[in-house]
Amino acid sequence: MSARATPPRASEGLRSGELHKGELHVSGLYVGDCLPLLARLPDESVDLTVTSPPYDHLRHYDTPTPLNLTALGQQLLRVTREGGICALVIGDSARHYAKSLTSFRLAVSWCDALGWRLFECCLYHRHGTPGPWWRTRFRVDHEFILLLLKGERPGVFHKEALYVPTKHAGERVSYRPYPRRGTPWGAPPPAVQPHQCRGTVWPYATSSAERNRLKLGHPATMPDRLAADLIACFSNPGDLVLDPLMGSGTTCVMAARQGRRYMGMDASPAYVDIARRRLASEAGGQEEEGGKGRGNG
Ligand SMILES: C[S@@+](CC[C@H](N)C(=O)[O-])C[C@H]1O[C@@H](n2cnc3c(N)ncnc32)[C@H](O)[C@@H]1O
């Protein structure tokens, strides 16, 4: 079994609506089209989804048909528990001096037509090799992190897990005296706290800085830290974390390392193989019986 902090067992199943024999198993990786695979999951069985969909045909993936993002949103809403978050890392391509608006359309349609609510839209500020210098455009160094919420309020929000250090910790930086009742001179300002709440711009080095050759066998990975932060903030140990488009398995590896259960899907057998090898080498992970089968996609 894996070296997870609280090793989940398949027998724990999914808390509402059990997975039956022959169905998908938690802590499993699946090869296949995610839509028919997701259709086999019970309602309200997933605590958190962390994923990055293909968009605007920027890359060629070995998939039978382009992914229907609306159908994906519907399935994810169905399988997500009340209060659960779906974190989507997504961007927009540009053509003839105009952005595609794919991420904007997705956010609006998933909220207006499907019933998700946009908890927050953070920016993943990419630090890495500068990429091409465009004569007529800015160099794009961000993607969106759409944090979509099912229901009234997030069931889990460990924002303290993402605190960032303050620049002037311990200093008393205000020059305006704090009025103290009964004294004309005022009291010194309070010392700046060592940490503060994270803002909505999240800076990370790109995956190439991680120097993980196995992971870089996939052309479009998200940084480990980005997936790890989302999991730490929006899930508890033992929760089920899903990535229906897992690529090299970043979400599953980070979930396993933090003692969460995971489920990963990808249409490409080669990428699922990378994810399997990453789980074994980076999280001491091992799939539970039943996780190795081909999906029906
Ligand atoms: C941007 S990549 C995900 C990368 C991943 N976040 C990582 O860190 O490695 C998107 C993935 O979606 C997969 N994909 C595309 N369409 C799919 C579908 N219909 N069903 C399952 N996987 C699909 C592709 O094979 C690709 O690996």
- Residue with CA closest to ligand 1 atom 2: 247
In a domain, 297, yes or no: no
In a domain, 79, yes or no: yes
What is the rounded CA–CA span in Å between residue 171 and residue 269? 54
In a domain, 58, yes or no: yes
- Return the pLDDT at 12: 38
The pocket around ligand 1, CB under 6 angstroms, is made up of 33-34, 52, 54, 61, 63, 67, 218, 220-222, 245-248, 250, 265-268, 271
In a domain, 11, yes or no: no
- Residue with CA closest to ligand 1 atom 27: 247
Determine the distance separating the centroid of ligand 1 and the alpha carbon of 266, expressed in angstroms.
Answer: 6
For the chain, what is the domain count? 1
In a domain, 111, yes or no: yes
Contact 128, 122 (CB under 8 A): no
In a domain, 5, yes or no: no
Q: How many residues does the chain have?
A: 297
Q: Which atom of ligand 1 is found nearest the CA of 59?
A: 1
In a domain, 183, yes or no: no
- Return the pLDDT at 59: 67
Instruction: Domain of residue 61: give its range.
Output: 18-172+190-292
Determine the distance separating the centroid of ligand 1 and the alpha carbon of 32, expressed in angstroms.
Answer: 10
Reduce the secondary structure of 179-218 to three states and give it as a string: CCCCCCCCECCCCCCCEECCCCEEEEECHHHHCCCCHHHC
In a domain, 209, yes or no: yes
Q: Could you tell me the CATH number of the domain that includes residue 194?
A: 3.40.50.150
pLDDT along the chain (297 residues), means of 10: 32 40 70 94 96 82 80 98 98 91 97 98 89 79 97 97 86 63 64 89 93 94 98 97 97 97 95 95 66 34
Contact 216, 271 (CB under 8 A): no
What is the rounded CA–CA span in Å between residue 224 and residue 250? 6
Determine the distance separating the centroid of ligand 1 and the alpha carbon of 156, expressed in angstroms.
Answer: 26
Q: Which atom of ligand 1 is found nearest the CA of 220?
A: 1
Determine the distance separating the centroid of ligand 1 and the alpha carbon of 174, expressed in angstroms.
Answer: 49
